[in-house]
Amino acid sequence: MLTAADSEPLLKESVAVQFFSEALSALSHGKPPMPCAPDKLARVVDFIHSHATESLSLQQICAAASLSPSYLIRAFSQHYHMTPHAYLLNCRIQHARRLLRGRQPLAEVAHASGFADQAHFQRVFKRLTAVTPGHYRR
């Protein structure tokens, strides 16, 4: 995952931080993280929604809520049952679904939804909705 050329920077950062956070947790006898204030997680969600079509880094998301990367990923995953990256992809797909109601070409929908290319957009769309964007549009 970390060496894949087509992986987004946020995904690579999230995977690395999650791995080391879990390793640290295992080495510290599995102590659960302190609960995160819901308002900080709400700030993260608001930030992701506001910037979903942009290329985001883990540092940008952390700065929006004043949280460390490892704490953010642990608390976000515990509260929302997905990583911030998965949440971002879900937001992008929801945005794309709204755009697909129009007649824009798929490549334009992919770009307007924050995906680097149409192929990545189609893979993620199909994984999250079980249909391709073309079939969804029909």
Question: Would you give per-residue pLDDT tens digits along the chain (138 residues)?
Answer: 667 777 777 777 777 777 877 776 777 665 555 555 678 999 999 999 999 999 999 999 999 999 999 889 889 988 898 999 999 999 999 999 999 998 889 999 999 999 999 999 999 999 999 999 999 987
Centroid of chain to Cα 73? 11
pLDDT digits (tens, 9 = 90+) for 104-130: 899 999 999 999 999 999 999 999 999
Contact 134, 118 (CB under 8 A): no
User: pTM here?
Assistant: 0.76
What is the DSSP secondary structure assignment for residue 35, as one 8-state letter? P
Q: Could you tell me which residues come within 8 angstroms of residue 43 by beta carbon, excluding any fewer than 6 positions away?
A: 64, 65
Q: Check residue 117 and give its pLDDT.
A: 92
For 67, the token pair is 């949280």
3-state secondary structure of 85: helix
Contact 83, 118 (CB under 8 A): no
